[in-house]
Structure 1
Amino acid sequence: MALRRLRPGIGKPAVVLAALTLLLAACGEDGGGSSNSAGNGRTKLKVAALPLTDSAALYIARDRGLFEKEGLDVTIQPVQQSIQALPALSKGQVDVIASANYVTFLQADEKGTLDLRILAEGVRTAPHMMDVLVPEDSKVKTVADLAGKKVAVNILNNIQSLTLNAILDKQGVGRPVYRQIAFPQMGPALERGQVDAVHAVEPFDSAIQGELKAKVLMDGGSAPVQSLPISGYVTTKKFATDHPEAAAAFRRAIEAASKIAATEPSAVRDELPKYTKVTAEQAQTIGLPAYPTSTDAAQLRRLTRLMEDQGLLKSSIDPATLLVK
C-alpha cells in the first residue's frame, strides 16, 4: 500500500460531508432497500462497509453465494468511517452497517439518535490485529513513554482509545492525548511528525510498518481487552421489526461466512485484496482479528462495562436487549 499517494484530509469535516453525500446518492432516495424486490425472487439490501479486515465475512458471503442462498440481493457501499453511514441508517437509506464499531452505535442508541439493533458480531480483538506504532527513530521507547504524547485514532472517544486506555490503566501508566486522524492518513501523519504514535488496525497497521519501517510499541489486542467484541453488523429496530425474515437471512449468511473466516484464514487473506488496498502478498502476513460464529451477549457486556467505567456510557445497558433473534 503506497500511503504517500493517498489523498490528505480524508477525516476533515468537509470531506466527511462529501463522502456522506455520495453515500446517500448511491443509496437512492427511496428509503429502506429491503422492501424492494430484486426481480428475481431475492430481497434487496443495502450495506455500508469499511475497507477493514472486520468486513471480511461480508465479502465472503457475497462471493461464495451465501446471500443468494438466503434469497438476498446485497449491494455493498464502501465508507471510510462507519459513523459516516449512521445518518443514512437512521433514515432507512441503508439497511445495515458492516464493521460498525460498537462504541459509536451504543452511544447513539443511548442518546436516542438511533434505535439500534445488532444483527451479528463482526470481529473480536486478536493479537496484533491492531497495534500502537511509532517511527523507527522515535524517542518513545516504552509504553510508559506514551503518557501525554499525541496518538492518532480513527475516531475520538471510541473503540481504539477505549481499549488502549484499558491496557494502559492495567499497566499503571499515564494516558496519551488522542488526535482524530482517519486510518488512510495515519501513515503520512506519523511520517510528518504530526503525532508521536498511531493506533492502527489492519490492513493499515502492516502497511505503515512496511512503508515507514514503523515499530510496534504495543499490541492493541493484549490484556485486558483480549477477545473483546469491537465491531458488528448493525441495523435499526424499525428494519428488524418490518423485515424480520430479511434480517434473519442476513444474519445466517454472515454467521456462515464468519465460520469460514474463523476456520479458513486463507479465505480472508484471499478476499482482502478485492476490497482493500492491500496487495495479495501483503494479505498473507497481516494480523487477523477473531471472527465469532455467533453473537454472545456475555462478551458484549465486557465491552459495555468498559464503556461505563470510562464514562462513554452514562447508564448500564444490557446488550441482550439489542440482539436480533
Structure 2
Amino acid sequence: MRRRLGRLGAVAASVSLLTVTASCGLLGGSDDSAAPSSGGLEKAKIKISIMPTIDVAPFHLAMKNGYFKQEGLEVETVTAPSGQASVTKMLNGEVDIAYGSYTPFFIAKSKGAADVKLVADASSAGPNSTMVVAMPNSPVKSVKDMAGKRVAITGINTITDTLIKSVMKTNGVDYSGIQWREFPFPEIGAALQRGDADAGFLTEPFITQAARSVGAVPIFDTATGPTQDFPTAGYGALGKFTNENPKTLAAFQRVMQKATNEAADRSKIEPLLVEFAKVDAATAAVTNLLTFQSAMDASRLQRVPDILAEFNIIPNKIDVNTMIAKAPAA
C-alpha cells in the first residue's frame, strides 16, 4: 500500500483517523479567500466529491490558497467513503465533479451507466505508498498467505481490491476466495485491531498512522511488478457537464495543474497533514507520498482499463482517449 493509491483513492493533506464528514475534506474546509467574479464561466458554483486520501493534497492546497476563487469558481466539497461512493454521487447528479480511484469510472463507462469523462489526473502509486498491512498476530505474513483471508478495503471493484488481485496473481496466489470487508480508510486500522479483518489495504498517511496507533505492520507493496507506478485516482464528470461548461472545465483544470505543480514541493504538503489531517509533524515527515499528477496522459491511463479487463471487472477493453475531456484552447 505504499505506492500512491488512492485508494486506493484521496488527499495529500488529507488522511487521518478522523471521522469522514460531509461537505468538507480531511485536508481542509471551505475556501475563505475574497469573493470571486464569475469571469464568464458557465457555472461559477460547482460541487465536488472527494475522499479522505492523500491523493487530493493538490486539491486542498488549491482550496487553502484560494486558487479556485482566483478563477471565479466557488467550490463546495462533499466527502465520500470510497471511490465507488464518490462516483455514484456523480452518476446521481449530486456533484458536478467526482474524485475517486479510476476503477469505478471505467466500470460505469463499461456498463453504459453514463457518458463518463475524465477531467484531471490525481495520482499514481509510488513505492510504499499503497500497501497491505496486518496486525503482528495476523495469519497473514506475506502475499502467499492471502488466499481465502478477510481483507479490509474501501470498496469492491475499486483500486484497492484491483491492486491486491494483481499482486496476488503475479505471485501465483488464488484471489478468488478473498473475503472482502469494506471500511473507509480511517477505520481500517481499528478494524484490524478488533480482528474484523486479517489484513487491510491502506494508503499514506494511514499506513504510518495505523503503525503508530494500533501497531499494524506492512505485509507487501501493491505497486510492484505490473502495477508499478500504476495510475490510481483522478477526477471525472458527466459528459453533459463537460459539454455544457467548457470554460468552467478549463478553469478547474488550470487550478489543478497549478496546485499539482506546487505540491511537488513536499514542504507545502507536510504542513497540510499537520493542520488538517491532525497528524503530528513526525508522522507527516516520514509519510510516503504518492506521485501527484494532473494532466491527462491517455497512454499512461490506458493501463487501468486494460488491467480491469484482465480481471474481468469490465467485459471489454475501453479506449481511454474517448473518455478524456479536453477543455477548449484559450
Q: Is the TM-score greater than 0.5?
A: yes
Displacement, 1:293?
Answer: 4.0
SS of alignment partner, residue 118 of structure 2: strand
In structure 2, the CA distance between the partners of 1:178 and 1:85, relative to structure 1 (3 Å rule), is closer
Q: Does structure 1 conserve the Cα–Cα contact (< 8 Å) formed by 2:36 and 2:74? A: no
Q: Structure 1 106/277 Cα, relative in aligned 2: closer, same or farther at 3 Å?
A: farther
Structure 2 match to 1:105: 105
Matched, 1:197 2:199: yes
Structure 2 contact 16–186 (Cα < 8 Å) conserved: no
Q: CA RMSD in A?
A: 2.3
CA-to-aligned-CA distance 1:163-219 (integer Å, 9 cap, x gap) = 111112112223243222222221222112121111111222211111111111101
Query: Counterpart of 2:27?
Result: none
Structure 2 residue 183 is matched with structure 1 residue 177: no
Please state whether the residue corresponding to 2:55 is helix, strand or coil: helix
3-state SS, counterpart of residue 188 of structure 2: helix
Q: Output the CA distance in 2 between the equivalents of 1:258 and 1:2.
A: 21
Partners of 2:276 and 2:16 in 1: CA distance: 16
Give secondary structure in 1 for the equivalent of 2:169.
helix
Shift of 1:156: 1.2
Deviation digits for residues 116-159 of structure 1, max 9, x if unmatched?
Answer: 11111011001111111111233322221112221111101221
Higher helix share: 1
1:320 alignment counterpart:
321
2:167 equivalent in structure 1? 167
Q: How far off is 1:87 after superposition?
A: 4.2
Instruction: Output the CA distance in 1 between the equivalents of 2:293 and 2:302.
Output: 15
The match for 2:157 is: 157
Structure 1: any 5+ residue segments left out of the alignment? 11-18, 27-37
Counting only pairs closer than 5 Å after superposition, residues 248-259 of structure 1 correspond to structure 2 as: 248-259=250-261
Separation of aligned partners in 2, 1:88 and 1:150: 28
The 3 A distance-change label for structure 1 pair 138 and 81 is: closer
Instruction: Give the TM-score taking structure 2 as reference length.
Output: 0.82
Aligned partner of 1:138 in structure 2 is 138
| Rounded Cα–Cα distance in structure 2 between residues aligned with 1:76 and 1:272 | 18
Q: Distance in 1 between matches of 2:280 and 2:96?
A: 30
Q: Residue 250 and residue 116 in structure 1: after superposition, are their counterparts in 2 closer, same or farther (change >3 A)?
A: same
Give aligned pairs, total.
296
Residue of structure 2 equivalent to 1:210: 212
Kindly provide the CA deviation profile for residues 281-315 of structure 1, in whole angstroms up to 9, marking residues without a partner as x: 32222111111242111111111110000001111
Between the aligned partners of 1:81 and 1:280, the Cα distance in structure 2 is 27
- Structure with the bigger RCO (C-alpha within 8 Å, sep 6+) is 2
Q: CA offsets, 1:76-111, max 9 Å, x none?
A: 22232243343442343321112x111112111222
Match of 2:60 in 1: 59
CA distance in 2, matches of 1:55, 1:267: 13
Q: What is the CA deviation profile of residues 52-71 of structure 1, one whole-angstrom value per residue up to 9, with x for unaligned ones? A: 10111111112223223322
In 2, are the aligned partners of 1:119 and 1:324 still within 8 Å (CA)? yes
CA distance in 2, matches of 1:151, 1:157: 13
Q: Which residue does 2:292 correspond to in 1?
A: 291
Q: Bigger shift: 267-276 or 57-66?
A: 267-276
| Paired residue type of 1:55 | V
Please, which runs of 5 or more residues in structure 2 have no aligned partner? 1-14, 25-34
Distance 1:280 1:231 in 2: 26
Within 5 A, what are the aligned runs for 1:7-26?
none
Whole-angstrom CA distance in 2 between matches of 1:2 and 1:89: 25
Partners of 1:284 and 1:159 in 2: CA distance: 26
Give the distance between the partners of 1:220 and 1:69, measured in 2 at CA.
38
CA contact (8 A) 2:305 2:317 kept: yes
Give, in whole Å, the separation in 1 of the partners of 2:278 and 2:220: 24
Q: What is the rounded CA distance, in whole Å, between the counterparts of 1:170 and 1:85 in structure 2?
A: 29
SS of residue in 2 equivalent to 1:224: helix
Determine if contact 1:154/1:183 at 8 Å carries over to the other structure. Answer: yes
Which letter does structure 2 place at the counterpart of 1:319? V
Alpha-carbon separation, structure 1, partners of 2:300 and 2:48? 25
| Matched letter for residue 90 of structure 2 | L
Q: Distance in 2 between the 1:195 and 1:82 partners?
A: 20
Q: Is 1:41–2:43 an aligned residue pair? A: no
Secondary structure of residue in 2 paired with 1:53: coil
> Given that residues 53 and 204 in structure 2 are in contact (C-alpha distance below 8 angstroms), is that contact kept between their aligned partners in structure 1?
yes
Task: Determine if the alignment matches structure 1 residue 76 to structure 2 residue 73.
Answer: no
Q: Is the 8 A contact 2:87 2:104 kept in 1?
A: no
